[in-house]
Structure 1
Amino acid sequence: MKDILKRPMRIAKFSFYLCLEGILLAILILFVFTACSHKNTLDTFNKYYYEEDTHKAYKYAKSQAGDSGDVLWNLQAGISAFEIQNEDAHNILEQGENLFSKYESQGLLGGFFDNTGAVLINENVKTYRGNIYEGVMFNYYKALNAMAKGDYALARVEFNRANDRQRRAKDYFRKDIQKALDEQKQQNAQDANLKNIDVSSSSKSISPILHQNYSNLKNFNAYTGFINPSVSYVSALFFMLENDYSKAMDLYKESYGINNASVIVSDLEVLEKRKYGYNQSKYTWVIIEEGQSAQKVEISLDLPAYLVSHNVLHVGISLPELTMGRLSAKDYRAVSANNPSIIYQASEVSDLDRVIANEFEKQLPFIVTRAVSSAVLKSVTQSVLSDNFGIYGALAGMLYSISTNSADIRISTALPKRTMVMQIAHKQEDVIIESDGKQLYHLHFLKDCNKGENVEKSDKKIKDKKNSKYFIVLCQKNDNILHLRIKNNSSNYQILKGGISE
């Protein structure tokens, strides 16, 4: 009789275990898919952007951003739109910057409620809030886009915003990290499984293991501050050509203090002469954004349990690791089409990897603290499930811990590895821009740049080559700024200032 009475109870208990496993498995599938989907979408975008067609990349990024916008995908779509001269470029970048500014005011490393869910599962469930350098790039590309459209008043505003955001970054970042760490401490204190564990001490105790895995950071030679010297440089060039010599001088000095680029020395000579009104020479500046900036990959570490808590048998964590960006070419120069002995060598004004690495390195203590908190909570969950539900609970707990052990590797992938600049003096001759000896663009300078439809008809060379996308017509009597984006198998150009319309 007792066996008959116990049988329904055993069946109910077995059904409960199956239900528990089913629920946990469904949750796992959902969040594993979330982590994988982030990587898949970035891989798809990268294939379009670097290997196939920028138009495809733009459409894909815009679809990922959606109507309500997304910091990461608005930046990707906005950069792509700028390159292909799409009219939506400004609005897309504007929407993304507005979102970034909202998160910036709340704290870029995440609000309390976002962090709570992420500790229970992983960082991929959080809304992507962006990094400071990405916020700066929203303003920077809005400024470039405004210049390409001839709206120099808007370009001035955006360059000012970009530089102001950079200069506030150091103080902001210090406060943001401390705020995020305080929120994490508060969150841990509210969890019965975490409040008695010194996560900070545990994080420090695993630092030798982390030091070994993050030893590659020293190869980045990170900039000591949060200034992207290419933003400072291009801003300085813009203000110099707008006759705002004082502001240009300050920005040139700021950039030169980081990169010691020889082109800045040449620019300062031009500035000093124009400031006192005795330099009538005209120049073309070629800004080359090339390669792909640093990316993130996932590393998984199995840690000795005693480093975290004596109650935990095994702990595994996943963390993002920074990998160095890729160059499209080593050497960029411009050579006179008539006299090969006249060479203009490009100077490197920024290596964006070094900007990214600096910010990433500052974030590491928080990233590690969060990873340890999450690992401890999941390990305790495994123990509780095992104690209460035996083999079924242990199995479910193990699946939960392993499957949700995933790092957040989201990062902007449309940004260049570095920015190169060359200053070309106008000498009544065409110029060929080369990368590693391969011709990229032919710059043809018109002597008479009259406005109207007769400009092309008046020059036989233009008529012969006007259908070539590698033949760029500029005005000899104007200062010109030409922007090039060089990728693996393709390039785009924008005339930011000058051309034949001024």
Structure 2
Amino acid sequence: MRQVIFVSMLWLTIIFMNACSHHDSLQSFNTYYYGGNDEKAYKYAKEEAGTSGDVLWNLQAGISAFTSHQEDTLSLLEQGEILFSQYESEGLMGGIFGNVGSVLVNENLKTYRGNIYEGVMFNYYKALNAMSLGDYALARVEFNRANDRQRRAKDYFNKDIQKALRDSEKENASNEKLRNIDMSQSSANITSILDFQYSNLKNFNIYNGFINPAISYVSALFFMSENDYTKAIDLYKEAYGITHSQVINQDLAVINNRKMGDKSTYTWFIIEDGQGASLEEFSIDLPAYFVSSNVLHVGVSIPQMKEGISSANVYQAVSHQNQQAFKAFEVSNVDAVVANEFSKKLPFILSRAVTSSLLKAASQATLSSVGEKQFGDTGALLGSLIGAAYSAATNSADIRITTALPKRVLALQVPNKISNFTLQADSNTLYEINFSCTKSNEEDKKSKNVIVLCDKNDNILYLRLKGRFPTYQILKGEY
């Protein structure tokens, strides 16, 4: 019995530390990243990814590397995408059954395989990074890959979840402990309670489909800048069908005017705003009599979406010449992209959580029975207590998610003919935009809040605002 107690306590310690480490790691990263220290966030995420890589932490590292102008941005994103593609071929959801014991323990023990929208983001940020380096051929490749990946997502997801459900049924059928439980009745009882007490998803705007319109829009803008108008128009239409964003109409007008010979130039800002949706744990202790009189604890923990936080409501460019204002328009609610995929996975997540809960409850009953046979009533009680402690300690949801993503993406189109302007967020100055097509204005270029561009060509800039901390990259243009 002492050996049983020792092994049980060892497992409890390992499981508790594993669940806490995920939460603490994300918290540490967020403290750096949203505290304005992108370089520390990048170094932290890179260390978490390790030499062999990790889908979640490679994406976190790649994004923070891009915003802090690191030379290994591409290699970090490339390593993460290779891993993601491997998991994608095995099954993002179905493949979890290679993680033996994750249902018996909790989902934190399984390898993080990523979500479809995260896989798309690897290609998206690789495309942005390529643009910032002037490698427009690579940018074209990565934008194409990003759009292809999200267009395939619906068929892929349907096949993947069906495979996952089949594998789950096989796993449950092969488990002797679950055979002694009325799974249908117990699951129905637990699910009815979860349905009543859980789901804040009704509070979210959820996109219908797997298309992130920001990917479509930014790709369209890139292809328009490359004079590939046919491809740009198709992508603009795709984005407009989801968001009806006014900036898309403005961009389509530019294409139409250029077909007529117009030579006007513009400056665009792709604005990533705020902190995106995260996951938090939602736990319920359920009536133990659902399973057996020998069970002291039946608990279910599942991830619950927490809405992201915007850094500003209104972004605009204000002309120095006549105070004319040009407003930015939202092209994607990233929370809605995350919520779409999460909502489709939720029934499966709930099913796994219920099965895990019942399996742990059955283990409690088994430990109680074994203890009773060996040591009588005292042994039965001790067995139940060990099983209950194990159940409570392992009642932990998997809340891993990419936290470096913004809450929303906006786009701002400004005609260069207005000359110098101020870029504002809620009337607060972010940057002064000055136009000079010579390289002699070095003092302005060294100024922290001055961006110098050339008005003779189109300019595309990436802006990331997290709280009070803006950063930018020039994707195309400058001189």
TM tier, smaller: over 0.9
Contact 1:199–1:372 (CA<8 Å) still a contact in 2? Answer: no
1:469 has 2:448 as partner: yes
**Displacement of 1:466 after TM fit?**
2.9
Contact 2:190–2:354 (CA<8 Å) still a contact in 1? Answer: no
Alpha-carbon separation, structure 2, partners of 1:73 and 1:121: 23
Partner of 1:65: 49
Give the SS at the match of 1:119: coil
Partner of 1:6: none
1:27-54 residue CA offsets vs partner (Å, 9 max, x unmatched)? 1101110000000000000000001410
2:84 is aligned, of 85, 91, 100, to: 100
1:407 is aligned, of 382, 397, 407, to: 397
1:159 is aligned, of 143, 155, 177, to: 143
Partner of 2:387: 397
2:265 is aligned, of 266, 282, 285, to: 282
1:483 has 2:466 as partner: no
Give the SS at the match of 1:116: coil
Give the SS at the match of 1:193: helix
1:427-485 residue CA offsets vs partner (Å, 9 max, x unmatched)? 15201000011000111112xx3xxxxx343xxxx355332121001110111101000
2:110 is aligned, of 126, 129, 146, to: 126
Alpha-carbon separation, structure 1, partners of 2:191 and 2:6: 37
1:335 has 2:318 as partner: yes
**Displacement of 1:312 after TM fit?**
5.7
Partner of 1:361: 343
1:168 is aligned, of 133, 147, 152, to: 152
Contact 1:114–1:127 (CA<8 Å) still a contact in 2? Answer: no
Partner amino acid, structure 2, of 1:320: P
What is the root-mean-square deviation in Å for CA atoms of aligned residues? 1.7
Counting aligned pairs with the same residue, the percent is 59
**Displacement of 1:218 after TM fit?**
1.2
Alpha-carbon separation, structure 2, partners of 1:203 and 1:279: 65
Partner of 1:499: 478
TM-score (norm 2): 0.95
Contact 2:127–2:143 (CA<8 Å) still a contact in 1? Answer: yes
Alpha-carbon separation, structure 1, partners of 2:12 and 2:111: 19
Give the SS at the match of 2:271: strand
Unaligned runs of 5+ in 2: 372-378
2:286 is aligned, of 292, 300, 303, to: 303
* 1:307–1:233 distance in 2 versus 1, CA, 3 Å: farther
Alpha-carbon separation, structure 2, partners of 1:148 and 1:483: 9
Contact 2:298–2:391 (CA<8 Å) still a contact in 1? Answer: no
1:89 is aligned, of 50, 73, 76, to: 73
1:416 is aligned, of 385, 402, 406, to: 406
User: Which deviates further from its counterpart, 117-126 or 193-202?
Assistant: 193-202
Partner amino acid, structure 2, of 1:479: D
Contact 1:316–1:375 (CA<8 Å) still a contact in 2? Answer: yes
2:205 is aligned, of 221, 228, 253, to: 221
User: Within 5 A, what are the aligned runs for 1:242-257?
Assistant: 242-257=226-241
Give the SS at the match of 1:236: helix
TM-score (norm 1): 0.91
Alpha-carbon separation, structure 1, partners of 2:105 and 2:217: 42
**Displacement of 1:75 after TM fit?**
0.1
Partner amino acid, structure 2, of 1:231: I
Alpha-carbon separation, structure 2, partners of 1:310 and 1:271: 72
Alpha-carbon separation, structure 1, partners of 2:209 and 2:404: 23
Partner of 1:143: 127
Contact 1:136–1:166 (CA<8 Å) still a contact in 2? Answer: yes
**Displacement of 1:219 after TM fit?**
1.3
Alpha-carbon separation, structure 2, partners of 1:331 and 1:364: 33
Give the SS at the match of 1:439: strand
Contact 1:352–1:418 (CA<8 Å) still a contact in 2? Answer: yes
